[in-house]
């Protein structure tokens, strides 16, 4: 059990969309890793034998929640053979072999700890090679090593030849097969389900194919019924209006990436009777396509098909964010980590891009990554804010992130369910960061 402690003299950045900042606060954390008290330092009592940590002049923020992560790679450019159609079967077979499972579990463990050390205290993986992330999540829960709260999806669910198939997907071509694959994932203990409703960018086969609907509404409905019956939320990779509409009709809980919205789509986001919570949310992932769209192909190493699709999808994603803002649709935050140019330590960049390219204010972007994501994932009673009774998921920073999200680059401290990581450190890729700084 973590040792109880108190952060005294803190300036709390509340994480609400209004940008509330509370100076001179104390946060008391008990042995169970829960917040026991929050209030002015001059009046808040700290029980005897609690460790006192003076953070005067520093900023305490709710731990970040990454609602769209992958853990199979490190963000360096993916070799083409990993996503090429002609080698997809071999890649899948190797990845699910005993040696492959060992390699990918080791990667998942390292990458999830990098996310933790960068301030992410909860993450949802949405597309794994097999069930290696489920295993890592179980090891963290059993306290074998400190880590963030992990909602693992296992392999995503796709159609033959569809996005992610077969490298990180279970494949089906009928509602009953889709239902069976959902049951397989649930039997392995997943805490999220991911659907490939449309084609994607990185494995696009032709210009204009990204965003084209791949899975039928009937197939997605079967998946949602099975998942919701088990209390599990469903995320849909969807980058075109037709696929988004079908996915929302089927009852998905989150649309990943997104696109420009029609009135029917907007209405379904607000009132979605087949979803688990009665409404759906948007989780854009600007880091997934903005570097591919804006950086030169000689730099990124992608081919002209991927480049053209990235440009098209970026335009649609930005339209989707604007439509969500204009219509009061919940916007979460996810990075799509592990994809090319999306490292596990650069979560702050997604917040920055949501402001500079997506039009959110800094408080709104921080809220997307804390309070809003907690609600989207059904964890708002557990985490997402600095409140009594919630898990002590906290980040201590030297600067106010509302003045700039680069404050997250070198956290002073990360606290995950009461467990303190002092002076967290990550391995960076400077050559990528220089390029990303130009966006």
In a domain, 439, yes or no: no
In a domain, 435, yes or no: no
Q: Are 268 and 252 in a shared domain?
A: yes
| Mean pLDDT for all residues in the chain | 95
Q: Are 75 and 52 in a shared domain?
A: no
Q: Are 280 and 151 in a shared domain?
A: yes
Q: In this model, does residue 284 exceed pLDDT 90? A: yes
Residue 394 CA to residue 420 CA, distance in Å, equals 9
Q: Determine the pLDDT at residue 395.
A: 98
pLDDT: which is higher, 241 or 302? 241
Q: In this model, does residue 81 exceed pLDDT 70? A: no
Q: Determine the pLDDT at residue 215.
A: 98
Q: How is the beta sheet containing 64-69 ordered, strand by strand?
A: 64-69, 120-125, 149-151
Q: Are 56 and 69 in a shared domain?
A: no
Q: In this model, does residue 420 exceed pLDDT 70? A: yes
Asked which of 290, 325, 345 is the last residue of a domain, the reply is: 345
At a CB cut-off of 8 Å and minimum separation 6, what does 278 contact? 271, 272
User: Structural domain of residue 15, as residue ranges?
Assistant: 5-62+384-422
Residue 36 CA to residue 186 CA, distance in Å, equals 34
Q: Are 391 and 304 in a shared domain?
A: no
Q: Determine the pLDDT at residue 301.
A: 85
Please give the average per-residue pLDDT across 347-372, as a whole number.
98
In a domain, 294, yes or no: yes
Q: Are 165 and 297 in a shared domain?
A: yes
Q: Determine the pLDDT at residue 79.
A: 67
> Do residues 50 and 4 make contact, with C-beta atoms less than 8 angstroms apart?
yes
Q: Give the pLDDT confidence of 111-163 residue by residue, as tens digits.
A: 999 999 999 999 999 999 999 999 999 999 999 999 999 999 999 999 999 99
Task: Please give the tally of structural domains in the chain.
Answer: 2
Q: Determine the pLDDT at residue 31.
A: 93
Side-chain-side CA neighbours of 323 within 13 Å: the count stands at 24
Residue 9 CA to residue 56 CA, distance in Å, equals 4
Q: Are 202 and 272 in a shared domain?
A: yes
Going by pLDDT thresholds of 50, 70 and 90, the confidence category of residue 88 is low
Q: In this model, does residue 168 exceed pLDDT 90? A: yes
Q: Determine the pLDDT at residue 86.
A: 67
Q: Determine the pLDDT at residue 95.
A: 79
Q: Determine the pLDDT at residue 89.
A: 76
Q: Are 181 and 294 in a shared domain?
A: yes
Please give the average per-residue pLDDT across 88-112, as a whole number.
87
Q: Are 263 and 168 in a shared domain?
A: yes
Q: Determine the pLDDT at residue 361.
A: 98
Q: Determine the pLDDT at residue 97.
A: 87
Q: Give the pLDDT confidence of 305-351 residue by residue, as tens digits.
A: 999 999 999 999 999 999 999 999 999 999 999 999 999 999 999 99
Q: Are 103 and 121 in a shared domain?
A: yes
Asked which of 345, 374, 403 is the last residue of a domain, the reply is: 345
Q: Determine the pLDDT at residue 299.
A: 85
Q: In this model, does residue 83 exceed pLDDT 80? A: no
Going by pLDDT thresholds of 50, 70 and 90, the confidence category of residue 66 is very high
Dihedral (CA of 69, 71, 72, 73) sign: positive
Q: Are 285 and 409 in a shared domain?
A: no
Q: Determine the pLDDT at residue 298.
A: 86
SS (H, E, C) the chain: CCCCEEEEEEEEECCCCCCCEEEEEEEEECCCCEEEEEEECCCCCCCCCCEEEECCCCEEEECEEEEEECCCCCCCCCCHHHCCHHHHHHHHHHHCCHHHHHHHHHHHHHHHHHHHHCCEEEEEECCCCCCHHHHHHHHHHCCCCCCCEEECCCCEEECCCCCCCCCCEEECCCHHHHHHHHHHHHHCCCCCEEEECECCCCCCCCCCCCCCECCCHHHHHHHHHHHHHCCCCEEEEECCHHHHHHHHHHCCCEEEECCCCCHHHHHHHHCCCCCCCCCCEEECCHHHHHHHHHCCHHHHCCCHHHHHHHHHHHHHHHHHHHHHHHCCCCECCCCCECCCCCCCCCHHHHHHHHHHCCCCCHHHHHHHHHHHHHHHCCCCCCCCCCCCCCECCEEEECCCHHHCHHHHCCCCEEEECCEEEECCCCCCCHHHHHHHCCC
Q: Give the pLDDT confidence of 173-221 residue by residue, as tens digits.
A: 999 999 999 999 999 999 999 999 999 998 888 998 999 999 999 999 9
The pTM for the full model equals: 0.97
At a CB cut-off of 8 Å and minimum separation 6, what does 214 contact? 158, 159, 162, 163, 196, 197, 198, 199, 243
> Do residues 327 and 266 make contact, with C-beta atoms less than 8 angstroms apart?
yes
């Amino acid at each position: 059990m973590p040792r109880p402690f108190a952060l005294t003299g803190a300036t709390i950045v509340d994480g609400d969309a209004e940008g509330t900042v509370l100076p001179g606060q104390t946060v008391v954390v008990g042995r169970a890793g829960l917040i026991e008290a929050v209030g002015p330092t001059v009046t808040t009592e700290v029980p005897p034998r609690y460790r006192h940590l003076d953070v005067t002049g520093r900023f305490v923020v709710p731990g970040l929640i990454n609602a769209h992560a992958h853990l199979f790679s490190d963000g360096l450019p993916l070799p083409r053979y990993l996503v090429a159609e002609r080698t997809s079967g071999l890649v899948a077979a190797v990845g699910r072999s005993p040696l492959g499972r060992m390699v990918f579990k080791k990667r998942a463990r390292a990458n999830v700890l990098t996310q933790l050390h960068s301030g992410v205290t909860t993450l949802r993986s949405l597309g794994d090679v097999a069930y290696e992330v489920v295993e890592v999540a179980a090891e963290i829960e059993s306290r074998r090593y400190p880590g963030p709260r992990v909602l693992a999806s296992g392999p995503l669910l796709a159609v033959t030849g569809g996005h992610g198939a077969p490298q990180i997907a279970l494949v089906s071509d009928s509602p009953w097969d889709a239902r069976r694959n959902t049951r397989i994932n649930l039997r392995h203990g997943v805490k999220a389900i991911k659907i490939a409703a449309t084609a994607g960018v990185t494995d696009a086969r032709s210009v204009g194919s990204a965003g084209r609907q791949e899975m039928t509404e009937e197939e997605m409905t079967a998946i949602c019924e099975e998942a919701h019956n088990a209390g599990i939320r469903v995320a849909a990779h969807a980058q075109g209006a037709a696929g988004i509409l079908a996915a929302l009709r089927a009852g998905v809980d989150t649309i990943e990436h997104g696109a420009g919205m029609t009135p029917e789509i907007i209405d379904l986001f607000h009132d979605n009777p087949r979803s688990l919570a009665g409404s759906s949310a948007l989780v854009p992932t600007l880091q997934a396509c903005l570097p591919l769209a804006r950086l030169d192909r000689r730099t990124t190493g992608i081919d002209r098909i991927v480049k053209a699709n990235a440009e098209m999808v970026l335009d649609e994603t930005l339209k989707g964010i604007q439509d969500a803002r204009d219509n009061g649709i919940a916007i979460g935050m996810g990075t799509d980590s592990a994809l090319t140019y999306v490292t596990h330590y650069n979560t702050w960049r997604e917040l920055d891009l949501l402001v500079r390219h997506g039009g959110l204010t800094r408080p709104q972007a921080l809220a997307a990554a804390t309070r809003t994501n907690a609600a989207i994932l059904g964890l708002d009673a557990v985490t997402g804010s600095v409140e009594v009774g919630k898990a002590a998921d906290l980040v201590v920073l030297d600067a106010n992130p509302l003045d700039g999200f680069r404050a997250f680059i070198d956290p002073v401290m990360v606290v995950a369910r009461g467990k303190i990581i002092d002076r967290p450190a990550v391995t960076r890729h400077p050559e990528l960061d220089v390029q990303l700084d130009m966006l």
